[in-house]
A and B are shown apart, each in its own frame.
Chain A
Amino acid sequence: MSRRKAIQAKEDVSANLIAMIDIMFLLLLFFMLGADMTQRELAELVLPNADQVEQEKKEKAAEDEFRSTVNVCHVPDSSSMRCVINAKGGVCREANHWMYEIRSEEFSMETIKDKINELAASAMEAEINATAGKRMSKRKLSIRADKFAPYGYVQQAITYAGMAGIYMIEVAAAKPPVEKKP
């Protein structure tokens, strides 16, 4: 009688990657849709907190074609300039360490005046305003300043805006996270 050969079952131990690829595609899609590579009007800075601030709906903000955002932020560190105070989260009061930024374009306190005049002039109202006695600008100026930015920079921007005929000023603040009650 011949010996029977032992039947050896071949086990396929290779991992099935199909489910993992599905998850990876979903993750990729999520992060791609969430990424924004366009030129930012809203600079990366830490806004001061204010619980009374009202959030504007995105649709309404998008419709506002005459809104310009002025960011007041600390000059970024470079090879020639590094602010230790700002790096440690302190209050930097060096005059040349703060700047204005509009659509990624940087301005100093001297050059911002011309830019604000240019923004105001590009959106003037057709009629003379009865209360002001002169033509005002339709431009809405939204000022976003870092929480440690000197008030003088914001004050100067508001002053230049008033001189240029911009009377619709907004100041931005961050809505603090809601504290969970125990």
Chain B
Amino acid sequence: MAGSSSDEDNPVAINVTAMVDVIFCLCLFYMCSFKFKQLEGRFQSWLPLDKGSNSGAAADAVIQEIRVAMYWNEATLATVRKFLVRTVENDTELQQLIHDQHADNLKLGHDDVPVIIDAEAKVPWHEVINVINMAKRENIAKIEFALGMPPGTK
């Protein structure tokens, strides 16, 4: 009869039940241990070879440095950001300040003025990355990390 298998076609019957059980267990193990990695990249921040930790060369009086100071407020558990002496309320304002200062420096022909990040030790890392991200949006290639504590730290 068509479609039927006789004993002559399958002389040896293999019981695959146990194999399916093992495969299920393995699948379960790998499904539970599987994790999707987050896409990540890197910002390059090569240290200057011609400067030391003690060399605090004053910026040219004409060129205004782009310094962002960040302080950790223990009471509110928030970061206070200052652009030079001005307290910045939000990201948009800080982005605009960085943009304006960079534009002024470009007009003077100085395209290598770095963004200096001056943060207290307790400031969360994502705040620092946020400032680096803002600098990259303005195509500022140089990022510098100030050593020691930012001015005005108690």
What separation, in Å, do the CA atoms of A55 and B16 have in the docked complex? 46
Q: In this complex, what residue of B is CB-closest to A177? A: B39
Which residue in A20, A56, A167 is a CB contact (below 8 Å) of B42?
A56
B113 CB–A CB distance under 8 Å: no
* Stretch with Cβ within 8 A of A (4 or more), from B56-64, B84-92, B124-132: B124-132
Q: Are the CB atoms of B45 and A169 closer together than 8 Å?
A: yes
What separation, in Å, do the CA atoms of A134 and B49 have in the docked complex? 10
In terms of DSSP, what is the predominant structure of the interface of chain A?
Answer: mixed
Q: Which residues of A contact B (CB under 8 A)?
A: 17, 20-21, 24-25, 27-28, 31-32, 34-35, 46-56, 72, 90-91, 93, 129, 131-132, 136, 142, 144-155, 158-159, 161-163, 166-175
Q: Are the CB atoms of B49 and A174 closer together than 8 Å?
A: no
Known A-B contacts A24-B23, A24-B24; A52 and B137 likewise in contact (beta carbons under 8 Å) = yes
Chain B 16-37, CB within 8 Å of chain A: the 1/0 string?
A: 1001100110110011011000
In terms of DSSP, what is the predominant structure of the interface of chain B?
Answer: mixed
What separation, in Å, do the CA atoms of A104 and B40 have in the docked complex? 19
Q: Are the CB atoms of A132 and B49 closer together than 8 Å?
A: yes
B121 CB–A CB distance under 8 Å: yes
Q: In this complex, what residue of B is CB-closest to A171? A: B43
Known A-B contacts A35-B33, A50-B43, A91-B77; A154 and B125 likewise in contact (beta carbons under 8 Å) = yes
Q: Are the CB atoms of B24 and A56 closer together than 8 Å?
A: no
Q: Are the CB atoms of B40 and A53 closer together than 8 Å?
A: yes
Known A-B contacts A91-B77, A151-B125, A171-B132; A142 and B42 likewise in contact (beta carbons under 8 Å) = yes
What separation, in Å, do the CA atoms of A175 and B129 have in the docked complex? 12
Known A-B contacts A35-B33, A50-B132, A173-B133; A148 and B145 likewise in contact (beta carbons under 8 Å) = no
Chain B residue contacts of A170, Cβ below 8 A: 42-45
Total count of chain B residues near the partner, CB < 8 A? 47
Q: In this complex, what residue of B is CB-closest to A131? A: B49
What separation, in Å, do the CA atoms of A161 and B40 have in the docked complex? 22
Q: Are the CB atoms of B30 and A32 closer together than 8 Å?
A: yes
What separation, in Å, do the CA atoms of A48 and B130 have in the docked complex? 8
Q: Are the CB atoms of A154 and B128 closer together than 8 Å?
A: yes
Q: In this complex, what residue of A is CB-closest to B128? A: A151
Chain A residue contacts of B49, Cβ below 8 A: 129, 131-132, 136, 167
Chain A residue contacts of B94, Cβ below 8 A: none
Q: Are the CB atoms of A54 and B42 closer together than 8 Å?
A: yes
Which residue in B27, B72, B129 is a CB contact (below 8 Å) of A173?
B129
Q: Are the CB atoms of A175 and B126 closer together than 8 Å?
A: no
Q: Are the CB atoms of B26 and A173 closer together than 8 Å?
A: no
Known A-B contacts A24-B20, A55-B41, A175-B40; A149 and B125 likewise in contact (beta carbons under 8 Å) = yes
Q: Are the CB atoms of A17 and B16 closer together than 8 Å?
A: yes
